[in-house]
């Protein structure tokens, strides 16, 4: 059966597939790079990434959630540099906690239902 539109779902299986898919992680890395270009404040790359991915401005409530995710990931990757390196294929030379945390946020944006289903 073929459909022109994907049916919305909130099943955990879909989220597990996309969150752990190597292609999604690679795409999140590249989105994170674009998010950091010409940016000064923490809120700016998150807003930019959301806009790039979804084609519209982020709401304040979503921005706060993604900022919190960024801060939590940043704390983790500052303590565990080897975990941050895993996001970039194990290369610890050019990895910093800020970039790794931004990849986590980019991956979260790409796993939003509104991104996956294009409502």
Domain edges within the chain: 12-117
What average pLDDT does the structure give for the chain? 81
pTM (2 d.p.): 0.77
Contact criterion met (CB below 8 Å) for 32 and 106: yes
Mean pLDDT along residues 22-48 = 81
Amino acid 42: pLDDT: 64
Report which of 91, 70, 71 is spatially closest to residue 82, judged by C-alpha positions: 91
Contact predicate 19/107, CB 8 Å = yes
Q: Give the span between the Cα atoms of 95 and 29, in whole angstroms.
A: 12
Is the pLDDT reported for residue 2 higher than 60? Answer: no
pLDDT band at 4 (very low <50, low <70, confident <90, very high): low
Note the pLDDT tens digit of each residue in 57-100. 999 999 999 999 999 999 999 998 888 888 877 666 667 889 89
Q: In the structure encoding, which two tokens stand for residue 68, read together?
A: 């919190």
Q: CB 104: neighbour CB atoms within 10 A?
A: 21
pLDDT digits (tens, 9 = 90+) for 90-108: 666 667 889 899 999 999 9
């Amino acid at each position: 059966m073929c459909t022109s539109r994907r049916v919305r779902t909130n099943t955990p299986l879909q989220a597990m597939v996309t969150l752990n898919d190597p292609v999604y992680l690679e795409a999140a890395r590249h989105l994170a790079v674009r998010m950091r270009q010409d940016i000064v404040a923490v809120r700016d790359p998150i807003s930019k990434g959301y806009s790039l991915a979804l084609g519209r401005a982020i709401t304040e409530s979503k921005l706060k959630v993604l900022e919190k995710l960024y801060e939590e990931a940043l704390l983790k990757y500052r303590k565990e540099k080897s975990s941050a390196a895993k996001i970039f294929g194990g290369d610890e030379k050019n990895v910093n906690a800020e970039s790794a945390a931004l990849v986590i946020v980019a991956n979260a944006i790409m796993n939003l239902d509104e991104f996956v289903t294009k409502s």
